[in-house]
Amino acid sequence: MTLRRRMTRGLGTIGSMQRRSFLLALAALAAPASGNATPAVALPRIAAVPGGVARVDLGPADTPPQVTVDGRRVLVMRPARDWSALVGIPLAARPGSTLALQVADAAGSREIAVRVQPKRYATQQLKVAPKHVQLSPEDLARHEREREHLLQVLQHWSDAPPSTLRLRTPVPGRRSSSFGLRRVFNGEARNPHSGMDIAAPVGTPVAAAAAGAVIDTGEYFFNGNTVIVDHGQGFLTLYCHLDAIGAASGARLAAGEPIGTVGATGRVTGPHLHFSVYLNATAVDPALFLPAATTG
Ligand SMILES: [Zn+2]
């Protein structure tokens, strides 16, 4: 209830969408006059590393440039006078390699190369009984179906820009620093860990990390009960292993509004929230978007 109030405070009955375009219009108006506009959107910490976020200057333009990388739309924003692209860099990107951004604006089309800076992630070797890593044909088929579905959901694009790129902590608790950790089971490499795990007791409320719209909910083999929220322009957050899902697909949420409770559903060893952040359908380090960790 408090959250609803926060959303509308000072804005009367103006909806969040109108409010957003109103604020952006204000920012646009302020830019030429002051020559040094107040940032309309708070930025994440920038690091052009695998699993990080690159900020690419796109120069001035009257209308937002359209940017893609690997055929996927990229978030563009105007933190000051000029436009910037915020590009999620895949964990699998090799340091020293380049990502090719395709930029289209009123001036035409161009390509901008983003060089990937080095970053090392830990590797964990695990030896376990084969039955713990081999899926039955039924489970494997289910997982394949769900993987396809989730890949589709993560490509979701909405034109409205996010109101912020700074996230609030979805649940208080001890955070793992295991984003990017590569796990090798019995010599077989798995996908690196694509999020942050936050330890909390079963039933602890989980809050939306920013305002947005629920674009998917479901009970998945690995992820358990899951909610995915779109914050605008491919900036998505994903909440997994929930005990209960507390938000319906299609619902619009204010920042901090409950989306469910912490649980241990899916393939997990204990209760925690798995929290992932996506830009251009690419998992990036949630720590870049959150306030500095507190112990607890
Ligand atoms: Zn996790």
160-181 pLDDT, tens per residue? 999 999 999 999 999 988 999 9
Which residue range is the domain that position 170 belongs to? Answer: 123-288
Instruction: Name the token pair of 251.
Output: 């619902």
Residue 29 has pLDDT above 50, yes or no: no
Distance 229 CA to ligand 1 centre (A): 17
- Centre of ligand 1 to C-alpha 237, Å, is 13
Q: Give the domain-ending residue among 91, 115, 139.
A: 115
Cα–ligand 1 centroid distance for 40 (angstroms) = 32
Q: Which residue carries 């620093």 as its tokens? A: 177
Bridge partners (DSSP) listed for residue 261: 205, 244
**228 CA to middle of ligand 1, Å?**
15
How far apart are the CA of 137 and the centre of ligand 1, in A? 24
- Write down which residue in 97, 115, 133 finishes a domain: 115
What is the pLDDT at residue 190? 86
Q: Indicate if 149 and 254 belong to the same structural domain.
A: yes
Report whether pLDDT(295) > 70: no
Q: Is residue 254 part of a domain?
A: yes
pLDDT at residue 45 in the model? 93
Phi-psi region of 2 (alpha: psi -120 to 50; beta: other; left: phi over 0): alpha
Looking at the domain assignment, is residue 169 inside a domain? yes
Cα–ligand 1 centroid distance for 91 (angstroms): 15
Q: How far is the CA of 216 from the centre of ligand 1 (A)?
A: 18
User: How many domains in the chain?
Assistant: 2
Is 295 part of a structural domain of the chain? Answer: no
- DSSP assignment string, 226-294: EEEEE-STT-EEEEEEESEE-S-TT-EE-TT-EEEE-B--SS-SS-EEEEEEEETTEEE-GGGTSPPP-
pLDDT bin (cut points 50, 70, 90) of residue 294 is low
Let me know if residue 205 belongs to a domain.
Answer: yes
Distance 196 CA to ligand 1 centre (A): 6
| Residues 17 and 136 reside in one and the same domain | no
- Both 110 and 149 in one domain: the answer is no
Cα 75 to averaged position of ligand 1 atoms, centre (Å) = 25
Same domain, 21 and 97: yes
Distances from the Cα of 217 to the Cα of 44, 120, 197, 221, 233, angstroms? 26, 33, 19, 13, 19
Of 53, 83, 115, the residue that ends a domain is 115
Does residue 252 sit within a domain? Answer: yes
- The answer on 144 and 110 residing in a single domain is no
The DSSP secondary-structure symbol of 110 reads E
Per-residue confidence band for 126, with pLDDT thresholds at 50, 70 and 90:
confident
Same domain (yes/no): 137, 29: no
CA 234 to chain centre: 8
Of 5-14, 204-213, 244-253, 256-265, the poorest mean pLDDT is in 5-14
Dihedral in degrees, nearest 10, Cα atoms 16, 22, 24, 30 = -150
Q: How far is the CA of 70 from the centre of ligand 1 (A)?
A: 26
User: Residue 15 Cα, ligand 1 centroid: separation in angstroms?
Assistant: 34
Q: Are residues 130 and 108 part of one domain?
A: no
130 and 256 in a single domain? The answer is: yes
105 Cα: distance to centroid of ligand 1 (angstroms): 38
Report CA(193)–ligand 1 centroid distance (Å). 6
The CA 204 to ligand 1 mean position distance, Å, reads 17
pLDDT of residue 79: 82
Do 110 and 128 belong to one domain?
no
For the domain that residue 56 is a member of, what is the CATH number? 2.60.40.1590
Q: Kindly tell me if the per-residue pLDDT of 4 is higher than 80.
A: no
| CATH number of the domain bearing residue 231 | 2.70.70.10
* pLDDT higher than 60, residue 13: no
* Model confidence band, residue 225 (pLDDT cutoffs 50, 70, 90): very high
Q: What angle do CA 61, 62, 65 make, to 5 degrees?
A: 55
Residue 283 and residue 141 share a domain? yes
Centroid of ligand 1 to alpha carbon of 239 (angstroms):
10
Give the range among 35-39, 173-177, 191-195, 263-267 with minimum mean pLDDT. Answer: 35-39
Q: Are 139 and 232 in a shared domain? A: yes
Give the pLDDT confidence score for residue 10 in this predicted structure. Answer: 33
Identify the burial level of 71 via C-beta atoms within 10 angstroms of its C-beta, where 0-12 means exposed, 13-18 middle and 19 or more buried: exposed
